[in-house]
Structure 1
Amino acid sequence: FSPSVTLEMQDDNGEDVTATMHFKNLGDFDSEKLKENSAFLSKLDVEKEQNIKIARQLSSNKALLKALANPETRQAVIDLLQSSLDEIKNTEAK
């Protein structure tokens, strides 16, 4: 007995991602096993862990928190980040 199910998920661009999950025993229903058996879920888990680490680092960065408390420096940080993001997108487009 080896049941399987085909799942449709959406990536961060709203594109459909289809994956077929195969189950051989009850342990395959464990969240860690599900991630191991799906490249898409594994990628999402890595992104989640990276975001958690970034959030922890940002929340403990006293200089950044102080800069964000001031509206003028907050806007300067936002502008800098937007400029960096635009530069990355332009580089990727080439």
Structure 2
Amino acid sequence: MDEESSAVDVNGAPITIGSNVRYINTDTIGEITDIKTDDEGTWALLDTTELYYRVDTLQITDKKASVGKEYSLSEEDVKERIKKQAEDIQSSTLEEVFQATGGG
């Protein structure tokens, strides 16, 4: 039996390998790379998380997962950010920190 033929999303739309889907509980988006069925249901593997999700928790989408947006900071960048935050804190006065505004 072809497992893909019975795979449908939460709205009843067919899911196949290569489909772009959204996991409805966390809005995770990815492409289906594998589909399998066991005693507990039909599962689809998302490429972005490398996890299997029950197909009835997925929704077909036109959106594609963003790729290459991850970045890392060097140790020097982190130190510079901490130093800047410390300077900003020291230049603040208690009046600025506790300044209350409002009408009345």
| TM-score with structure 2 setting the length | 0.25
Q: Rg bigger for which structure?
A: 2
TM-score by length of 1: 0.26
